Amino acid sequence: MIGKNINILLLYIFLGLITTIYIIGFDHISFTNTDWLRSHDMTTELTTWKYYKNDIWRFPIGNNPNYGMDLASGIVFSGSIPLFSIVFKSFGNFLPDNFHYFNLWIFICFFLQSYISFLIVYHHTKNLTFSIIASLFFLLSPVLFNKIALHLSLSAHWLILLGYYIEIKNELNKKMFYWTALISLSALFHFYFTIILFGMFFLFVLNEHLTNFNIKKLIIQIGLPFIFLFITMYIFGYFEVPVTDALGYGYGYYKLNLTSIINPNAVTPSGTIGWSLFLSTITKNTEGVEGFGYLGIGGIFLLIIITYYIFFNFTEFKNKKFRPYFLITILFSLVALSNKVSFANNLLFEIELPKYVYGILSIVRASGRLFWPVYYLIFLASILMIYNKFSKKSSLYILILLFSLQIIDISPGLKNYFNSNAFTKEKKEMDYLFWNKLSQENQVLRTTYLNNETDFLMSLREILLSQNIKSTDIATYGRYNRKKASISRSNLYKSFDDGIIEKKTIFAIDNKNHLRNLKYLFKDKNVGFFLRDNIWIVVFGNKSEMTNFDKKELSKYDPLEFPKKKKIIFNFQNEESIHGFGWTHSLHSHNTGIWTEGNISTLLFKFNNKANEDYVIKIKLGSLKTKKNKPINFNVIVNDLFVKRFSLKNINELDENSIKLKIKKELMTKDTHYIKFNIENPISPLELFQSPDARKLGLLVENIEILTY
């Protein structure tokens, strides 16, 4: 018996290894080869691991301040597989600088996915051949392959299967221990699995109390795993980010479509692919990558079989033991579909949710992922149904036939994953000599616009992964501290306005408007501007190292001329505009324009007053943020010569909802105008209980024009 178990284990180790080699290729088996980890998410996971590995141990254990800096996040909010990060960090002194474990992780996912599914089927059938064939459906799951190429930490689908195995294998007292351990452990892979597993566990426990309700026992059963989960989350750093920052946009978009299970269209880092030889694409997956749930033609036939038997033998399934599985199917599917139910490209109906309900559901904004327990339940239940309804020989033949159809059908998808084809491998050529020299002297790399979705993560990938850079705020996390990020941006712009730029730091300039402002503020100081690899950077003390090319290119970025008798409409994304530092977008709202953020916001432009007349700078406001019955206090300063103070409770207090700055011609002797909004008391929508948005906002500025009088 022991020998048989070992042979089975070796078989699944072999299958996991072969599948891993198939998907990433022999060239990428090495733990130091990162050429296949070049997509946005893979780069995020790799850089997160690099900075965590090279940092000292901290508490909470998952803190990673050198990657993200003022984003104030940690590895539990990354896709770097936190448990592996912690384990391998322990051996960091013995590992190569460019070591990673992501190929090992892929192997473990394939191995456990197939092995645990085998154990579940074998537990019910005690038929070795049947169970091995059944496990191949799970090993070659399109949903699993799809996630491996997109989000590595979300490839732990075996955790869901392990939850089902715990439920069928163990007695009640053992179940509690294993469920508690599994739920806590899942938080060290990805929190979506924690949500899924806790939901499954709750429904299994609830099922026990539907016929014999005991409130005290129910609280104990639910509370014990929750307490251990809470302790785990605290130790590893989940609470470093406020709970409100766990909420995010996306619920109702990153969702399941009613056609997802029969739609073979999928997104990979290298493009959109089809997973079916027999079925064509139904929809372009407007739900994004999270709406993918193709069963395969074999899986579709399995679904038809089990649906048929349940429909015509419903009384047989009224047994208490089936009830939690029906609850999982119904409730998880409903949440996955979201409040916007779509069939293909058609929105069938939308349920308007109260904002607090929507806020709670925003924790699972990628709700399409919550269909995974149902997805695997379809395969498990239908495979076991076939075994129970047919003879051993017939059931095996049926399963082999269905698996053959499955392999033939999903072969186009599998081909797209062969030899790392689904991964991004294109390497960007860079001026490594320049970057290496500069980063040896300046070991902090920052951006002039701190945010969680910066393009610099990809364009500066090789520099971020070099051993010279010790800390950076160019980072991406699943969740981060929005309030700290907003305050950090404001503090940076205040220092720029004061003529201070951080030493030993490379600043990657986010946009052309920032470049114009920096050039204006530091034109007479020892600050170097460099254009390398289509990226503008600014460094304190390196002005003498600027080349003629740098100087020529920089000369193109003087303040923009203000168009005469025209109105400038503000758009945050417009890089050919006059807004500089301290502005933020008005996305996800009905308002147009840009918000001031933090304590300082700037405008920079040239106005040639050829008529030598007095003039008015008219700034139209669309809204403002302030506490109820309390004013927002701010100054508007032009070239440090003209100051006007405001205290407003509503923009209606202004004539035409506009700030009007009357400028005397004798006062402004230069064409360049540098306007500052100094906001004394910005406030966030979160503080006003309007939304989870923690940005410190002040004025919504729609447009600006210059009038003569």
Give me the pLDDT at residue 450, please: 96
pLDDT along the chain (709 residues), means of 10: 82 98 94 93 96 97 96 93 98 94 98 98 97 98 96 97 93 88 98 98 92 86 96 97 85 93 91 93 68 97 95 81 94 96 93 87 92 98 96 97 98 95 82 95 97 93 94 95 95 96 97 98 96 97 96 97 90 96 86 94 92 90 94 95 93 96 86 96 94 94 91
Give me the pLDDT at residue 1, please: 54
Q: Are strands 444-447 and 471-472 parallel, antiparallel or unpaired?
A: parallel
Cis bond before residue 60 (omega within 30° of 0):
yes
Give me the pLDDT at residue 37, please: 93
Rounded CA Rg of the chain: 29
Q: Are 678 and 634 in contact (CB under 8 A)?
A: yes
CA distance 565 to 708: 9
CA distance 264 to 278: 10
CB neighbour class for 169 (10 Å; exposed up to 12, middle 13-18, buried from 19): middle
Give me the pLDDT at residue 554, please: 98
Give me the pLDDT at residue 283, please: 67
DSSP letter string, 371-403? GHHHHHHHHHHHHHHHHHHS-HHHHHHHHHHHH
- The size of the chain, in residues, is 709
Amino acid code (one letter) for 170: N
**Ramachandran bin of 205, using left for φ above 0, alpha for ψ from -120 to 50, beta for the remaining angles:** alpha
Q: Are 642 and 659 in contact (CB under 8 A)?
A: no
DSSP character at residue 635: E
Measured between alpha carbons, how far is residue 135 from residues 254, 292, 384, 457 in Å?
A: 29, 21, 12, 39
Closest CA to 286 of 252, 259, 253: 253
Phi, psi torsion values for 488, nearest 5 degrees: -60, -45
Q: SS3 for 507? A: strand
* Helix (H) or strand (E) run with residue 434 in it: helix 432-441
Q: Are 427 and 32 in contact (CB under 8 A)?
A: no
In CATH, the number for domain 567-708 is: 2.60.120.260
DSSP character at residue 263: -
* Helix (H) or strand (E) run with residue 594 in it: strand 594-597
Q: Are 187 and 233 in contact (CB under 8 A)?
A: yes
* Tokens describing residue 461: 């990938």
* Tokens describing residue 529: 């501007």
Phi, psi torsion values for 703, nearest 5 degrees: -160, 170
CA distance 450 to 428: 23
Closest CA to 367 of 353, 383, 378, 380: 353
CA 232-234-238 angle, 5° bins: 100
Q: Are 67 and 476 in contact (CB under 8 A)?
A: no
For residue 616, what are the β-bridge partners? Answer: 662, 707
Amino acid code (one letter) for 572: F
* Helix (H) or strand (E) run with residue 222 in it: helix 215-236
* Tokens describing residue 584: 């933020």
Per the listing, tokens 């979506």 go with 192
Per the listing, tokens 């955790």 go with 159
Give me the pLDDT at residue 287, please: 56
CA distance 464 to 291: 32
DSSP character at residue 262: G
Buried (b) or exposed (e) across 621-642, using 16+ Cβ within 10 A? Answer: bbbbbbeeeebbebebbbeeeb
Amino acid code (one letter) for 59: F
Give me the pLDDT at residue 284, please: 58
Closest CA to 218 of 229, 202, 234: 202
Q: pTM of the predicted model, to two decimals?
A: 0.94
CA distance 306 to 324: 17
Amino acid code (one letter) for 524: D
Amino acid code (one letter) for 231: I
- For the chain, the structural domain boundaries read 2-30+103-420, 432-554, 567-708
Give me the pLDDT at residue 360, please: 86
- Alpha helices in 442-525, H assignment, sequence order: 456-459, 461-464, 482-497, 512-521
CB atoms within 10 A of CB 221: 22
Per the listing, tokens 């070099």 go with 466
DSSP character at residue 93: G
CA distance 363 to 356: 12
Give me the pLDDT at residue 71, please: 87
CA distance 480 to 248: 11
Q: Are 627 and 683 in contact (CB under 8 A)?
A: yes
CA distance 446 to 433: 20
Give me the pLDDT at residue 337, please: 96
CA distance 528 to 542: 5
CA distance 238 to 62: 8
Q: Are 463 and 469 in contact (CB under 8 A)?
A: yes
CA distance 336 to 357: 15
DSSP character at residue 274: E
CB atoms within 10 A of CB 101: 17
CA distance 480 to 690: 19
Q: How far is CA 230 from the centre of its chain?
A: 23
Give me the pLDDT at residue 105, please: 98
For residue 235, what are the β-bridge partners? Answer: none
Q: Which value, to the nearest 10 degrees, does the dihedral of the CA atoms of residues 362, 366, 371, 376 take?
A: -130
CA distance 594 to 623: 10
